[in-house]
Structure 1
C-alpha cells in the first residue's frame, strides 16, 4: 500500500487557523451542510448520535459575547479573562457548537459517546480546512459554565459543549509550530 495520498498529505500538513484571524466571508448554509455531513460520519458506536450541532451565526456570537461578560462578572472572573472570552465570541463570524449529548445505553459507555463528540469536532475542523476555509477548535471557561450554556445555547442538563469550531476566511497564516516528538510518546509492543 502506498504511504502517500492526497488525504494523508492533507492530514500530515493540516494547520488550524487561529480564531482571531478568521473573518467573513463564511460558508453559506449549503457549504456548511456539506461540512456538517462530513463531521457526522465520525465513529459512533451503536449509532446513537450522541452529539448535535448548533450553528452560531454572527448575531448569535454577539449575543453570546454579551452573555460572557455578564457570566464572567457574576463569577468574579478577572477582567482580562472576561475580555479574551468576549472577543473570541464577538469577533467570530461563524462557529458551530458541537454538543456532546450522551444517550442512555447498556452497550455503549458514556465515555465512548463523549469521545465520539470529540471526534466530530476534529472531523468538522478538518472538513472545513480541507474545503479551503480557516478553522479553529476552541472552548474556554464560558463553554463549561452551566448557566452560560443553559442560557446561551439552551443545553439540557445532560449536555455539554465538546467544542466551538470557528470557521471563516483566514486573514493570514501563522508560522508553523513545533509538533510532538513521536519517539517520546510512542511505545511499540511486539509480543
Structure 2
C-alpha cells in the first residue's frame, strides 16, 4: 500500500512538473501567445456575429407588429417578439452547447480518463509549444487550434480502438 501511494505521489509530482514547465515555456513563446490571442479573438468575433444574426432575426420576426393599428400595442408586441426570438435562439444554442459538452465529458471520462491520456496531453502540448515556430513555418495553422484538433483526433481514435477491441472476442 505504501508503494502504491509513493508511486501515485511520484506520478502526480511528475505531471505537475511537466505541466508547469510546459506552461512557463508557453508564456515565453511569442508564436504560441499570438496564436492564443487570435484563437480567442476569432471565437469572440464568431459569438458577436451570431448575436448580430440573432438580433436581426428578432427584428425581422418583430416586424409582424407593424400590422397592428394601435401604436402602443404594436410597440409592446414588437419588443415582446424581439425578446422572445432572441431569447429562444440564445437559450437553444446555450442548451445545445451544454448538452454537447456533457456528452464529450462523459465520452472522455468513459474512454480516456487515465495516465496515458495525461501523457498524451502533456506531450502534445509540449511539442506544439516547443516546436511552435517550426510548425508555423511548415503549416499555416493556429497552434491552439492544432492542439484542440490533436486532442479530438486522439479521443476519437481511442474511442474507436476501445470499441473495436471490446467487440472482438479474444
Q: TM-score range by the shorter chain?
A: under 0.3
| Bigger strand share | 1
Instruction: With the length of structure 1 as denominator, give the TM-score of the two structures.
Output: 0.21
Instruction: With the length of structure 2 as denominator, give the TM-score of the two structures.
Output: 0.23
Q: Max radius of gyration: which structure?
A: 2
